[in-house]
A and B are shown apart, each in its own frame.
Chain A
């Protein structure tokens, strides 16, 4: 596609529900990043994939957060037993090979936990 696509655009979850957020990167982009942006804050790194390998998950805030990219393309960020503090915009970005910081960000998924 022309850009990084994220779905759903908005998600409202009741506290305790599980949610899954999808990211479709630009075709051919091998690097994929997830960031969390709380209201009024800058994005914070969650995790990084190179193809299907998750090389850095140091930013995941708890073991309730899980990300996967099984075929090296689409990625899913899953949050189990959502809590109010998980409310944020979740941004996905992808980058092509041999490109230094050639990020393209998606528009994000706004998660609201009620």
Chain B
């Protein structure tokens, strides 16, 4: 079985400051990793995904994440946040072991940007 741990349920950050949202996973097989963002009353939007290749993945809205296999982590970073980044962020993992692309999500991190 696979699981995802997002250690921080809430992260307040001042506008234009850097941010890191932490994600650790556990799985017995090779995995694919994802970060999604959810704005209030909306569905999930993909920020970035790691499928293979370079461990540094760049996504939309200036976000990036680094896959670290030895530490089983996939932390999300942004060098300078904006008010519009206020949202819930979900890390997810998948391994195709069930023959389909179902995702296992973490419990989410609420990012609040302070003006």
Contact = CB atoms under 8 A, between A and B. Distances in A.
Interface stretch (B44-52, B54-62, B67-75, B77-85): B44-52
A101 B36 CA distance: 12
A48 B44 contact: no
B101 interface: yes
B99 A105 contact: no
B101 A45 contact: no
Interface residues on B, range: 20 to 34
Nearest to A100: B51
Interface in A27-52: 31, 33, 40-45, 48, 50
A42 B101 contact: no
Nearest to B43: A105
Interface in A88-102: 91, 93, 95, 100-101
Contacts of A107: 41-43
A103 B104 CA distance: 14
Among B32, B92, B98, B103, max chain A CB count under 10 A is at B103
Interface of B: 4, 32, 34, 41-46, 49, 51, 90, 92, 94, 98-108
